[in-house]
Amino acid sequence: MTVYVDDMFMKATVPNGARKVSGEWCHMQADTREELDDMADKIGLRRSWIQYPGTWKEHYDVTRPRRDAAIAAGAVPVGMLELARIRKRWREEHRSSVQECECSEFAQQHAITDPGCPAHESSDPS
């Protein structure tokens, strides 16, 4: 199993509570959520910062220094195209195994569900 960091290096300033963080941003993804969260812990990310939790798109946005820290901790650097191929495989595996989540982006980012989302409906008819 592997943690990956891409080479997007997108310049952006994003809000973080009362302050803003500027930098060059990349994506950190992994073969499993456990690996992704373990790496986030190692490099000092808050688990609440995960994007699209519980989906094939789940990832953390990381600045260049955090990307470097992830690589030093064992993450594999990949190009954006390589990560896109990996994500395509995950998406296909995810779609073949479960109903695609239709919750809003806000709900996904905050680990809650929207009423009526087919991926979260109970199979229990009672």
Least confident interval from 4-8, 9-13, 109-113: 109-113
- Render pLDDT for 17-28 as a digit per residue (tens, 0 to 9): 899 999 999 999
Check pLDDT > 90 for residue 113: no
Check pLDDT > 90 for residue 123: no
Check pLDDT > 80 for residue 108: no
- Render pLDDT for 45-85 as a digit per residue (tens, 0 to 9): 999 999 999 888 899 999 999 999 999 999 999 998 898 88
CB-neighbour burial class of residue 51 (10 A; exposed 0-12, middle 13-18, buried 19+): middle
Q: Compute the distance between CA of residue 4 and CA of residue 76 in angstroms, rounded to an integer.
A: 5
